[in-house]
Amino acid sequence: MRIFLSMTVNVGVVGASGYAGAELLRILHGHPEFTVTVATAASNAGQSVAALHPALIALGDVMLAESTPSALVDLDAVFIALPHGESARLTDALPETLKIIDLGADHRLQDASAWDHYYGAGSAAAAWVYGLPELPGRREVVASATKVANPGCYATAMQLSAAPLLASGLVEPVDIVAVAASGTSGAGRKASIPHSATEVMGSMTSYRVGGTHQHIAEVTQELSSVAGTPVSLSFTPLLAPMPRGILATTTMRLAAGVTAESVDDALRSFYSSSEFVHVLPHAASPATASVSGTNCAHIQAVVDERSGRVVVVTAIDNLGKGAAGQAVQNANLMFGFGEATGLSVLGVAP
């Protein structure tokens, strides 16, 4: 079943009935190299994409297939956007040579005990290459990989905030404190009372506080690698009354003698070659509306001299750089395409 005009690389999207899956279809529709030939779902198999996602009506009367290995084996690459804990069973049945980008958490963690702690007891899947290309040396590793674990949305924002300063030794690796607000699409499309419009509109609430949010595991795993020493993180997530976007504030203790100028220089140097991460002018503040619909991250840092801390504020689109956009960025690297191919860098605000 061919969805778009014939291009170069035939790909499939598993979990196309969800928000991240729909965002993948939207992005891939405009990609000059990837052709979506299979889109699958579980309970929504047999329904049309347009019926589930009216914004994608231009794709025509495309029907969702069942998420079976036989539907995917003849593809060049597969994007998997399934709930945590559900992709490993599918990926284990697919050919080793098939390139896969998993947007779920199944293949992110190297420590099986961390999986048990944050996701519940069970068999942790083998860790794949962790696909945050902006981390030191990671682009080259992703480019040579056949299996990539896409980072979590909160995890992306926190790591983009902290990695440059940890890598340069400008901040202490302990007592990192992050507070981040996310739009409701980050919770997925499954109906629930806490995420209904009546509960969310005109209100904000915290959830999974006290070190229980699952993204802590991958953030500490990857930032410890960047810092060369274990890092400690306290993270509080907030639910914001908006459909998409993440605004994260990450505070870190400055090392002795570190100045605001050195912090700014480190951020700008770290991201000087990035097509997606933009360190804003000093008078500007990151805003979720500015990155909506893009694969970009907007960052700004302010040094609080009285407390000896730096506050890094980062805005991303949780469905873009936090999910589908980053998955396509990783796929571009895996196939040798330009990193920004098919990805928007310009927001749609207001």
Q: What is the pLDDT of residue 193?
A: 66
Identify the CATH number of the domain defined by range 9-127. Answer: 3.40.50.720
> In this structure, is the dihedral angle defined by the CA atoms of residues 128, 129, 131 and 132, taken in order, positive or negative?
positive
Q: Tell me: the pLDDT tens digits for 140-166?
A: 999 999 999 999 999 999 999 999 999
pTM beyond 0.85: the answer is yes
Q: Which of 72, 80, 153, 310 is catalytic?
A: 153
Q: Is the pLDDT reported for residue 317 higher than 80?
A: yes
> In this structure, is the dihedral angle defined by the CA atoms of residues 235, 305, 316 and 166, taken in order, positive or negative?
negative
Q: What is the pLDDT of residue 344?
A: 94
Q: State the average pLDDT for the chain.
A: 93
- What is the SS3 assignment for 233? strand
User: What is the token pair recorded at 17?
Assistant: 């009935």
Q: Tell me: the pLDDT tens digits for 17-58?
A: 999 999 999 999 999 999 999 999 988 888 889 899 999 999
Q: Tell me: the pLDDT tens digits for 184-220?
A: 887 666 667 676 777 778 889 999 999 999 999 999 9
The pLDDT-based confidence of 107 (bands split at 50, 70, 90) is very high
CB atoms within 10 A of CB 7: 14
Catalytic site includes residue 153? yes
- C-alpha 122/C-alpha 238 separation (Å) is 28
The pLDDT-based confidence of 6 (bands split at 50, 70, 90) is very low
Tell the residue number behind the tokens 């499954």, with chain if given. Answer: 190
Identify the CATH number of the domain defined by range 154-319. Answer: 3.30.360.10
Q: What is the pLDDT of residue 195?
A: 67
- Beta pairing class for 147-149 and 99-102: parallel
Tell the residue number behind the tokens 């099986």, with chain if given. Answer: 112
CA distances from 178 to 154, 211, 239 (A): 10, 11, 14
What angle, 0 to 180 degrees and rounded to 10, lies between the N-to-C axes of helices 215-227 and 112-119? 150
CB 80 within 8 A of CB 102: yes
- Range with the poorest average pLDDT among 83-87, 100-104, 233-237, 305-309: 83-87
DSSP notation for 165-201: HHHTT-B-SS-EEEEEEE-GGGG-SS--GGGSHHHHT
**Which of 38-47, 113-122, 307-316 has the largest mean confidence?**
307-316
Q: Is the pLDDT reported for residue 288 higher than 70?
A: yes
Q: Which has the higher per-residue pLDDT, 286 or 85?
A: 286
> In this structure, is the dihedral angle defined by the CA atoms of residues 103, 104, 107 and 110, taken in order, positive or negative?
positive
Tell the residue number behind the tokens 């400008």, with chain if given. Answer: 170
Q: What is the pLDDT of residue 63?
A: 86
The domains of the chain are located at 9-127, 154-319
